[in-house]
Structure 1
Amino acid sequence: MITTDLLSDLKSIVSEEQLIDRKNTSHPLGNSGQVTVYPKSEDEIANVLKYANDNGKKIAVVAGGTKRGFGGLTESVDILLSLAKYKGIVEHTVGDMTLTVKAGTPFKELQEYLAEHNQKVSLDPAWPEYATVGGIIASNESGPKRLGYGASRDVVIGLRMVYPDGSVNRSGGKVVKNVAGYDMNKLFIGSMGTLGVVSEVTVKLRPLAKYESLVLLSFPEGDVEKIRAFATKLLDSVMEPTSLELLSPSLAERMTGQNQYTLAISFEDVENSVHYQEEFVKNIQPLHTNMVIFQQKEAQAFWDKFYTIGPNGAVLAEGSEIEAAMKIGVINFDVLKVIKECQSLVDSGRLAIEAHGGLGHGLCQVNLKGSAEEIESAINHLRNSVAQLGGYSIVTHLPFSLRQKINVWGEKPSHFFLLEGIKAKIDPNRVLNNKRFVGGI
């Protein structure tokens, strides 16, 4: 009866074909809704939010679904707001190298459009075919090329946000040199959709690189200090790699066929510059290491495969094993300790772990697969190890049942009262993505 009334109310906001009744379905990752709504305009988004806010309904937000297993302590809410049909280019100023795009636009689709203009968004998220611009921004996702590209906060210059009361707020602007007022973009980026629904994103663009290569440097002896010494030389030089990513032996075996610690060093520039940097790496190559260099299409094929190694919330995992993923942040070279600790768990035979981390930015991605008990034990073990290094760790993918047992965000930060105060001000009725963010916000 409740669902029937809800459907009836929503039909006054959107057309019937934009609604799906899901009251008898469930999802192992949770974050579902009794009714899924597919708005096609910002006004429809605003009206759905205002209806929920005025009538005590809860909303979960989704688009491509890749982040469905990221946070959330509610299996199903009243309304699942899907932005899957709210996509497309709003404005593209080629000469100024800026673009405004609707939040539900798949990232790969956007990059293919920009490639026709010899431009790109300088981000490299996982599962780009599924991941949408809004989801990437809301979760502050970045990949191994963060070293050269930066993060979402470095790319976004403007946002349009629909607040829970249905009002629309705009932060930033549509030009790169925008210094008016506070940089409110940073408040919403990474807030997991708990403050508002991203409707449009304005980003600054980069030209496509004239040439690209990938140097794979493997260390058969597994000497972590040798990796550290090499990385120090490279980072202290004038070379400009876009990635300096350390792959665990288990991940390297999947990607290259070699079960060895491997550095994935990416270069993007004009061809002469790329080859010059390759020669520099050859000249400082440590003894008893192996080097392979991929050019252009081979390099791109490597990264295309790399971006699909982790769990994808949009596709249900097959088999009885559970998939999980962690994001770990430490001081740059402590990445070596994190990746080594991950490999020690693999060597102990407990479960499958594939890990990688950036020696230039300190962020690690750890993908785990095993039984529920093994996953829980490994997460707790890695968290303790990271805490000793003074870093942080969050679980970015986990089935709903395990999220009831494991605090995916870890302990509340010292500034939690600020986050709680902002949430209470913007969304006092806790309409949006309730309990999806740190501390149960």
Structure 2
Amino acid sequence: MISSNLEEILPKEQIKNNNEQEHPLGNGGIQLIEVLSEEDISKVLTYAHKHDKTVNVIAGGTKRGYGGSAEQADILLSLANYKGIVEHSVGDLTLTVKPGTTLKEISDELEKHGQRVALDTPWPELTTIGGIIAANDSGSKRLLYGSARDLVIGTRIVYADGRVIRTGGKVVKNVAGYDMNKLFIGSMGTLGVISEITVKLRPLPKYEGLSLLHFPEGTEQQICNFAVHILDSMMEPVSLELLTPSLAEHVTGKKQFTLAIAFEDREKAVLKQENWIKQNLPSRVEHTILNEEKARKWWRDFCHIGPNGHNDEENEANTQAALKVGSNNLDVVNILKLAEKLADECRVSVEAHGGVGHGISKVYLKGFPEGIVSYTRTLRAKVEENRGYVVGTHLPFAMRETIDAWGERPGYFVLLEGIKLANDPKRILNRQRFVGGI
């Protein structure tokens, strides 16, 4: 038994038999081990490396359906209770935090000091900072603030053999030479377990505004033209997020392509930019403005769209899936039109949105598994024709056995595999979780 050996290095109450070994999302483990410190992580990985035991890593569970072609490992390493703020330098606008801390917990604490982590990832009360960094997650506001990769300035990493390293530092200007942080951000936990993260902060905005532009059917070219117009202007939108009619009906009550343009700045600057929108509004386009608390509430609701690793249903007809689509920014309009069209052909329901400023789209599906598989294959083939990509960020394990969440191996796969073997030669950590089965 694994536990009898581990009880020599960890308290017995932290070692449990996993009662969810056959979880529909997979990525589980025979033995569940809850760690409470970096030392605990190191001890478990040292043990696993010595005894050739595989390890899956979990915290909030929101990324459980993201990649992974091995249903379970020997050990499921839980960071859910390894949480809390290590250091908050208010004057330097930096925060060091443990990976099991949820984004909401971080936001609630920083709000007391008028600061924030500029991330608007979905389900902030469930998703942890460790999961966000491991997946390089981001939301609609990455147009101005960037993704997780742009905010991290330092980490502590526990390698697969239990060794601990530090990358970057705790001040903003700390990188000389290659930025080692970039190696681990977005690697899906396949290179090491993040035990500490230092991120850059921003002050809370003085004022928030949201302009919703509702475009009549058949005026999609107007969306592209307006996006180019605003991107070429002196405006500084936080988001240029286009919603499909199905999603727009859900969050605005209007079943039309809707462009959500957010501004966050001093009140005078926000109102001036909103006035620019009014003056440059395309013909036949309806305009709704939300300010301050109404704008914040809209975004809070928007963050609760799609699957979260906990809200999947047993009813096969309501199987949930989520896709991330990367493309040229102005291709987003056609991708979202295609996303709606394929819904009818594959008999699934679809809600989708994409950034016409940054080119990342999110597609949320619900229906029978065979319809979702057909939809994903068709959408991927169409997107790849224009050198884009489609990644399955939430797929049940049985579906991931049918369709590769990551798509075809890229030409640079040999480099990824080389990095994996250099960091984890026994392939212990999150085996088969990343691109190409790494």
- Which band: TM-score by shorter chain? over 0.9
CA contact (8 A) 2:20 2:28 kept: no
1:424 equivalenced with 2:424 (yes/no): no
Q: Provide the C-alpha distance between the structure 1 equivalents of 2:345 and 2:270, rounded to a whole number of angstroms.
A: 40
Which residue is equivalent to 1:136? 132
Q: What is the CA-CA distance between 1:179 and the residue it aligns to?
A: 2.4
Residue 355 of structure 2 is matched in structure 1 by 358
Deviations 1:412-434 (A, max 9, x none): 11111111011111101111000
Is 1:227 the equivalent of 2:223? yes
Secondary structure at the residue paired with 1:8?
helix
Q: How do 1:26-425 and structure 2 match up within 5 A?
A: 26-317=22-313, 319-320=315-316, 321-348=318-345, 350-425=347-422
Q: Deviations over 1:231-281 (max 9, x none)?
A: 111111100010000000010011111110000110000111110000000
Q: Percent identity?
A: 55
Amino acid at match of 1:167: R
Distance change >3 Å, CA 265–CA 24, structure 1 → 2: closer
Kept after mapping to 2: 8 A contact 1:322/1:372: yes
Q: Structure 1: how far apart are the matches of 2:132 and 2:187?
A: 11
TM superposition shift of 1:37: 0.7
Residues 222 and 260, structure 1, Cα contact 8 Å, conserved in 2: no
CA contact (8 A) 1:64 1:314 kept: no
- Contact 1:130–1:314 (Cα < 8 Å) also in 2: no
Equivalent residue letter for 2:172: V
Note the C-alpha offset of 1:204: 0.7
- Asked if the contact 2:312–2:320 (Cα under 8 Å) also holds between the matched residues in 1, the reply is no
Question: Cα distance 1:45–1:94, how it changes in 2: closer, same or farther (>3 A)?
Answer: same
Q: Partners of 1:75 and 1:6 in 2: how far apart?
A: 18
AA at the equivalent of 2:177: G
Cα deviation, residue 111, structure 1: 0.6
Distance 1:259 1:349, change over 3 A: farther
Q: Which amino acid aligns with 2:191?
A: L
Q: Deviations over 1:169-216 (max 9, x none)?
A: 111111101122310111100000000000000001000000101111
SS at the partner of 1:77? strand
Q: Once the 2 structures are TM-superposed, how far is the Cα of residue 389 of structure 1 from its aligned partner?
A: 1.4
Per-residue deviation at 1:319?
A: 3.2
Give the Cα separation in 2 of the matches to 1:295 and 1:24.
Answer: 44
With normalisation by structure 1, the TM-score equals: 0.97
C-alpha deviation, 1:337, in angstroms: 0.9
In 1, Cα distance between equivalents of 2:379 and 2:244: 15
- On the 8 A contact 1:222/1:261 being kept in 2, the answer is no
Could you report, residue by residue, the CA deviation over 1:381-438 in whole angstroms, capped at 9, with x for unpaired residues? 1001101111111111100001001011011111111110111111011110000000
Q: For this pair of structures, how many residues does the alignment match?
A: 437
Given that 1:242 and 1:267 are in contact with CA atoms closer than 8 Å, whether structure 2 keeps it comes out as yes
* CA distances 1:294-349 after superposition (whole Å, capped 9, x unpaired): 11111111111111101111333353321111111001100011001011123547
Measure, in 1, the Cα distance between the counterparts of 2:81 and 2:356. Answer: 38
CA distance in 2, matches of 1:16, 1:145: 44
Classify the secondary structure of the residue corresponding to 2:176.
Answer: coil
1:409 and 1:317 mapped to 2: Cα distance?
24
One-letter amino acid of the structure 2 residue matched with residue 389 of structure 1: N
The one-letter amino acid of 2:109's match is Y
**For residues 386 and 145 of structure 2, what CA distance do their matches in structure 1 show?**
26
* Structure 1 residues 63-115: Cα deviation after superposition (integer angstroms, max 9, x where no partner): 00000000111112111001001000011110000110001101110011001
- Which amino acid is 2:273 matched to? Q
- C-alpha contact (below 8 Å) 1:242/1:265 kept by paired residues: yes
Q: CA deviation at 1:221?
A: 2.8
Structure 1: how far apart are the matches of 2:325 and 2:231?
21
Cα gap change, 1:309/1:24 in structure 2, threshold over 3 Å: closer, same or farther?
Answer: closer
Secondary structure of the equivalent of 1:154?
helix
Q: Distance in 2 between matches of 1:32 and 1:426?
A: 22
The range that moved more, 22-31 or 248-257, is 22-31
Structure 1 letter corresponding to 2:77: L
Give the 3-state SS of the residue equivalent to 1:394 in structure 2.
strand
How large is the RMSD of aligned CA atoms in angstroms? 1.1
Contact 1:216 1:264 in 2 (8 A): yes
